[in-house]
Structure 1
Amino acid sequence: RKDAESEFQTVTMGKNGSNYIAFIPPLPSGNKVEYYLKLNTVYYSLTSPIGAPQYYYHFDVVTDTIPPSLFYEPLHSTINGKTPISVTVLVEDNVAVDSQSVFLHYQTPVESDSVAMVKQGQTGVFRADLPPVAIYGDTVLYWFSARDCALSPNRITTPRRQFQVGYEDFEAGLNNWLVNPPGWELDTSSVHSGHFSITGSSDKSYENSGNTTITTNFGFDLSHTDRAALSFWTRYSLEIGHNYGYVEVSSDAGKTWKQLTSPFSGSLFNWTKKIFPLNSYCGPGFNDVRIRFRITTDSTRNGAAGFWSIDDILLRENWRVDRVGQAIPNNTFMLQSYPNPTVLGRPVAIRYGLVSRARVKVIIFNVLGQKVRCLLDEEMSAGNHVIFWDGRDGNGKLVAAGLYFYSFMIKYYSLVGKTEVITKKLLLLR
């Protein structure tokens, strides 16, 4: 009952394993609930507390204003951007957590979405997979939310954190790398950032006739882009003319390797950034591109104490590199659509960038070359831009599923007479 003037209401308890359970109907804040327990058998009756209903238990109904607490380990940047990331959080509350309310939210430069997290057993642990939604080089923002089971639910939303796709700082170890034979290892004695780098000789001593590699244990998918570049920070001391450091790339899952640049030899004691183009490994068919670093030594020491340290590796799509290894933007860059393929009715984000002011016209065509819709026809400033297509034609009617093309016609004001035309495919599924 809710007060001394009311009659006690009876609620039959149901068996739950070796226990019995019942629910008292919810009451507004400010009420006082009085209750007791009673067991009836064919032989006797028992009450708790003894002497009920003259004696009884009670509690006050108050407003719960305390939101849940949420705990998690921050996500590390990952060089492997095409594999889902398993995310786990612990959610606790003074009353109870609404298990349908726990979400992982994420945002990329072109998309923002949420993933429902699934409760693991009877614990307060929830898990979800963060899908591989970003391209190499993108920064992904993520955060969590949950609410409790109060009559007026309390909600928690965590601050936003971020990580970068295609980036390796070795703070999470060597999970994405294969070392063969042993030789490369994590190093804390000299780093460009964070707490760890990798080095081919942390004790500054090489074996004779050595040939040791550290290789990505997965392949980069560069089949959907036409420009990419690899950058990393490095320092080394390799006996000139005797010991060498190689940066190598494979487009056939590691069966054959080619040098990406001239070998390193000699001394470079200060951390220095190196950037190399990967354009020759972009486009259709290049869906398993692997990177490795290799040290070779000759058969005599010749006083060959040395090292090769590497940190902060980044593979970024849509980079162009000049002759001296500096990353520069193209006149038109970051030309991407996401998601692609996509389903009818879901907006497609098409992103691009300009290094100078230009007149930009974007038209959707069907496979017959017929114009479906003009998405953009105006002057645009330098920088990154995103436009969206909702799958409708110029009359607002949803188009049929199939293959479409989006064509950019870009006239640069800084380059008189230059008009660039770029066309890409887009597949709509039913």
Structure 2
Amino acid sequence: PDSLCYDISTTATFSGTVEVCFGYDEASLPGPEANVRLIHYDATAMPPAWVDITTSVDTDANRVCGETSTLSPFVIGIGSVTAVGPAPVPKSLALRQNVPNPFNPTTVIGYDVPVDRTPVTIRLYDVTGRLVKTLVDEPRPAGAHQVSWDGRNGRGEPVATGVYFYRMQAGTFVQTRKMVLLK
């Protein structure tokens, strides 16, 4: 193998950073253990990218650690980020928790599309169920995507502090998540 890949997700929400550590078998590495790196696919970056997040490598325990603020694919590899290759194609439709949450003034919503040209709609609603804004309404290519919301409605006006819901629909897939705007 060229690398060892882990795809981690959670239904819990967290803020700040977490340390992730992975064990590896030295025999499975595609190169010298001294060059082992923990590389993370950051779907919240603009544009999304592979990022070296290595903070420590314990070659005695065969363990590599890194610090991240999001969970998604991780690769244990050798050398530079450019050696990782293209981003992985998601296996299923998914709507991710916005980051940060609570937020002010802007937040990022991640979502996954496994098949090219999938029609995707992401809409924002207030607590009464009223449509606040449509963020996405178009066919999207396969991959991990993100969209930002700046706390403004469809007319460009700032919205009030409070709880909002965002809903993704793609074919029969429908998922809704909650976020909080604090001013």
| TM over 0.5, shorter chain | yes
Q: Contact conserved, 1:111 with 1:349, CA < 8 A, in 2?
A: no
Q: Contact conserved, 1:365 with 1:406, CA < 8 A, in 2?
A: yes
In structure 2, the CA distance between the partners of 1:391 and 1:328, relative to structure 1 (3 Å rule), is closer
Q: Contact conserved, 2:113 with 2:141, CA < 8 A, in 1?
A: yes
Whichever of the two has the greater Rg, that structure is: 1
| Corresponding residue number in structure 1 for 2:102 | 341
Q: What SS class does the counterpart of residue 157 from structure 2 fall into?
A: coil
Q: In the TM superposition, what whole-angstrom CA distance separates every residue of 1:358-407 from its partner, at most 9, and x where no partner exists?
A: 11111100111111111111111111211111111111110000100000
Task: State TM-score, norm by structure 1.
Answer: 0.26
Gaps of 5+ in 2: 1-16, 20-41, 78-87
Task: State TM-score, norm by structure 2.
Answer: 0.57
CA-CA distance at 1:333 after TM superposition: 3.2
Q: What SS class does the counterpart of residue 405 from structure 1 fall into?
A: strand
Distance 1:139 1:382 in 2: 17
| Corresponding residue number in structure 1 for 2:177 | 424
Q: What SS class does the counterpart of residue 342 from structure 1 fall into?
A: coil
Distance 2:90 2:123 in 1: 24
In structure 2, the CA distance between the partners of 1:335 and 1:380, relative to structure 1 (3 Å rule), is same
| Corresponding residue number in structure 1 for 2:140 | 380
| Corresponding residue number in structure 2 for 1:394 | 154
The letter for the 2-side match of 1:352 is Y
Distance 1:328 1:349 in 2: 20
Alpha-carbon RMSD across the aligned residues, in angstroms, is 3.5
Q: Contact conserved, 1:139 with 1:163, CA < 8 A, in 2?
A: no
Q: Does 1:82 align with 2:18?
A: yes
Distance 1:334 1:374 in 2: 15
Q: Does 1:197 align with 2:131?
A: no
Q: What SS class does the counterpart of residue 336 from structure 1 fall into?
A: coil
The letter for the 2-side match of 1:429 is L
Q: Contact conserved, 1:365 with 1:372, CA < 8 A, in 2?
A: yes
Q: Does 1:407 align with 2:167?
A: yes
Structure with more helix by fraction: 2
Distance 2:120 2:108 in 1: 16
Q: In the TM superposition, what whole-angstrom CA distance separates every residue of 1:264-315 from its partner, at most 9, and x where no partner exists?
A: xxxxxxxxxxxxxxxxxxxxxxxxxxxxxxxxxxxxxxxxxxxxxxxx59xx
CA-CA distance at 1:111 after TM superposition: 4.6
Distance 1:328 1:361 in 2: 19
Q: What SS class does the counterpart of residue 125 from structure 2 fall into?
A: strand
Distance 2:182 2:89 in 1: 36
CA-CA distance at 1:427 after TM superposition: 0.6
Distance 2:95 2:169 in 1: 15
The letter for the 2-side match of 1:338 is V
Distance 1:350 1:391 in 2: 13
Q: Contact conserved, 2:123 with 2:136, CA < 8 A, in 1?
A: yes
1:211-290 equivalence runs, <5 A: none
Gaps of 5+ in 1: 1-80, 84-107, 113-137, 141-161, 174-185, 188-195, 199-215, 233-311, 314-326, 412-418
| Corresponding residue number in structure 2 for 1:317 | none
1:351-370 equivalence runs, <5 A: 351-356=110-115, 357-370=117-130
> What percentage of residue pairs aligned between the two structures are identical?
30
How many residues matched?
128
Structure number with the bigger relative contact order (C-alpha 8 A, sep ≥ 6) is 2
